Amino acid sequence: MRKKIVAGNWKMNCTFDEGQKLTSEIVNMIKDERSKDVTVILNPPFVHIPSVKKLVGEISNLFVGAQDCSDQESGAYTGQVSAKILNSFGVKYVIIGHSERREFCSEGNDLLANKVKQALQNGLTPIFCCGESLDIRENGSHEGFVTQQLTESLFDLSPEDISKLVIAYEPIWAIGTGKTASSDQAQEMHAAIRTHLANKYGQEIADGISILYGGSCKPDNAQEIFSKPDVDGGLIGGASLKSRDFMDIIKSF
Catalytic residue set: 98, 170
Residues 150/199, Cβ–Cβ less than 8 Å = no
Q: Who contacts 158 (Cβ-Cβ below 8 Å, separation ≥6)?
A: none
Residues 168/129, Cβ–Cβ less than 8 Å = yes
Nearest to 71 by CA among 97, 91, 52, 46: 97
Residues 43/8, Cβ–Cβ less than 8 Å = yes
Residues 230/189, Cβ–Cβ less than 8 Å = no
- Where does residue 204 rank: exposed (0-12), middle (13-18), buried (19+ CB within 10 A)? exposed
Length of the chain: 253
Residues 97/137, Cβ–Cβ less than 8 Å = no
User: Which DSSP string do the residues of 218-253 spell out, in sequence order?
Assistant: -TTTHHHHHTSTT--EEEESGGGGSHHHHHHHHTT-
Residues 230/207, Cβ–Cβ less than 8 Å = no
Nearest to 234 by CA among 179, 186, 172, 198: 186
Nearest to 129 by CA among 184, 164, 186, 172: 172
